[in-house]
Amino acid sequence: MCRYWRLFRGGYLKDLSYLIDNGIKVALVYGDRDYACNWIGGEAVSLAVNYSHASDFAAAGYANISVNSSYVGGMVRQFGNFSFSRVFQAGHEVPAYQPETAYEIFRRALFNLDIATGQEDTAKNDSFATIGLPDTWSIKDTPHETKEHICYTLASSSSCTDEQLQSIIDGSALISKYILVDNYTLGQFPGLATAGNESGNGSGSGNGNGGNESGNDDNDSSATIVAMSSGMWFLIAVTVMATTGV
């Protein structure tokens, strides 16, 4: 929801305040690897909701979200029917990264259970508050190793490095099926090696069908792909200029 805050004058802070004060359960859930809807901004929003127990919410500590007997999926601050959760190692769309954690948060909120353990009935105890750390800045996760990526020329601005874009523009890149061929992509898609060689030499059997035509459908299709990719150079050049300010 974070991307829509500015669509309406005043945002949703007053709406959230109204909902919470009228007994509606509100659970703000953010992944700590989400760069589109950053959890730091989400936490700031949670503390900015000016409802009747805002000070009690701010005074509550962060507790572990015990998803099951062996796994902690994040940390939560909660008072009554309002909670803010930071989910570990989750990017945009938390359920895609931490499905069980997301499910448990949803289930517990829906059935009036505390987010941290799922054991406390928050309908019977409307002053329930989590106990723990005042913030989660001390909680550090080990960064994931940066994986090699695939330069897909139809989405070059988001999938290709500056060096890869330059190699496409100056014609030194080998492209097959819209994918820039390098050691990583050859490892992922071994067939690109054959497709690249066939498309690059332009040779054919010349037997019958119009002189230099190959007679091999795969060869023709690969050559077409490379020809089409060369036609995208202008688009890629515009993308480079737009992103670099040239």
Supply the DSSP string of 66-129, one letter for each residue.
E-SSS-EEEEEEEETTEEEEEETT--SSHHHH-HHHHHHHHHHHHTTB-TTTS-SBTTT-TT-B
pLDDT at 64: 98
pLDDT at 141: 82
pLDDT at 177: 87
- Residue reference for tokens 């005074």: 59
Evaluate if residue 234 carries a pLDDT over 80: no
- Express the helix, strand and coil content of the chain in percent, nearest 5 each: 45, 15, 45
Evaluate if residue 206 carries a pLDDT over 50: no
Evaluate if residue 116 carries a pLDDT over 50: yes
pLDDT at 214: 43
Mean pLDDT of the chain: 81
Map out the domains of the chain as residue ranges: 2-110, 153-244
> What tens digit of pLDDT does each residue of 62-100 get?
999 999 999 999 999 999 999 999 999 999 999 999 999
> Would you place residue 244 in the very low, low, confident or very high pLDDT band (cuts 50, 70, 90)?
low
Q: In what order do the strands lie in the sheet with 26-31?
A: 26-31, 82-87, 72-79, 62-66
Under 8 Å between Cβ of 28 and 46: yes
pLDDT at 188: 85
Domain 2-110, CATH among 3.40.50.300, 3.40.50.12670, 3.10.20.520, 3.20.20.70: 3.40.50.12670
Strand partners of residue 85: 29, 76
> Would you place residue 143 in the very low, low, confident or very high pLDDT band (cuts 50, 70, 90)?
confident
> What tens digit of pLDDT does each residue of 14-35 get?
999 999 999 999 999 999 999 8
pLDDT at 246: 54
3-state class of 65 per DSSP? Answer: strand
Find the range with the poorest average confidence among 56-60, 132-136, 170-174, 213-217.
Answer: 213-217
pLDDT at 7: 52
How far, in Å, CA of 34 to CA of 108, rounded? 23
pLDDT at 148: 79
pLDDT at 38: 92
Total-model pTM: 0.64
The residue with greater pLDDT, 227 or 192, is 192
Q: How many CA atoms lie within 13 A of 110 on its CB side?
A: 6
How far, in Å, CA of 236 to CA of 117, rounded? 51
pLDDT at 10: 59
Closest CA to 225 of 190, 173, 186: 173
| Cβ neighbour number for residue 70 with a 10 Å cutoff | 6
The arithmetic mean of pLDDT across residues 128-135, rounded, is: 97
Residue 66's alpha-carbon distances to 21, 62, 105, 153, 155, in angstroms, are: 27, 12, 10, 43, 39
With a pLDDT cut of 90, the percent of the chain lying above it is 56
> Would you place residue 147 in the very low, low, confident or very high pLDDT band (cuts 50, 70, 90)?
confident
The arithmetic mean of pLDDT across residues 144-168, rounded, is: 86
pLDDT at 213: 45
171: left (phi over 0), alpha (psi -120 to 50) or beta: left
